[in-house]
Amino acid sequence: MNYELATLGGGCFWCLEAVYQQLEGVESVVSGYAGGTAETANYRDVCSGTTDHAEVIQIKYNKEKISFGEILDIFWTIHDPTTLNRQGNDVGPQYRSAIFYHDENQKIIAEQSANEIAPKIWDDPITTEITSLKEFFPGETYHQNYYAKTGSRNPYCTFVITPKVTKFRKQFADRLKKS
């Protein structure tokens, strides 16, 4: 009963997953898709741009160990919420910055965080979509735990994900899971 869900989009789901899996209070992270108009979602269709889904992660977290607000504090630092439909070289609506809230309390916290916390980190206007989660579609098995499984064997991981994970580990060292 102490667990809640958070669903976030911030570019490639592999990047977000790799960070949040290391965060104290996080029970699990599932890569998937949300925010689209199609009745189903899979990687091929989402990448085509025809479903309107975003690549997202769904975080199951222990609310006694970490709050939704703290999860968002990290969210603002691990991706660029000022670039519409883009994170680095990943371009398209599937890479948009988004917070899919699960209830009215999360909506209030997300809006407050976007208006008060994010602008302290970023100079440009925040483009993050804040909307109710309608449905979450788990991603394909090969997308789950991707960074943990492939790491340095994949150039994308080496050049894109590793720097984000390194920055997170340095900036939030006190929030890492204990080994």
Indicate the number of domains in the chain.
1
Work out whether strand 136-138 and strand 26-34 pair parallel, antiparallel, or are unpaired.
antiparallel
pLDDT at 14: 92
- Full residue range of the structural domain in which residue 154 is found: 3-175
Query: The whole model's pTM is what?
Result: 0.95
pLDDT at 13: 95
CA dist., res. 175 & res. 105, Å (int): 23
SS3 50: coil
Q: Whole-angstrom Cα distance, residue 138 to residue 9?
A: 13
pLDDT of residue 44: 95
| Catalytic-residue membership of 157 | no
Annotated catalytic residue, options 12, 15, 47, 157? 12
Environment class of 107 (CB within 10 Å of its CB; exposed 0-12, middle 13-18, buried 19+): middle
pLDDT by residue for the chain (179 residues), tens only, comes to 799 999 999 999 999 999 999 999 999 999 999 999 999 999 999 999 889 999 999 999 999 999 999 999 999 999 999 999 998 888 999 999 999 999 999 999 999 999 999 999 999 999 999 999 999 999 999 999 999 998 878 888 888 899 999 999 999 999 999 87
DSSP-derived secondary structure for 111-157: HHHHHHTHHHH-SSPP--EEEE---EEEPPGGGTTHHHHHGGGSHHI
Q: Which CATH number is 72's domain given? A: 3.30.1060.10
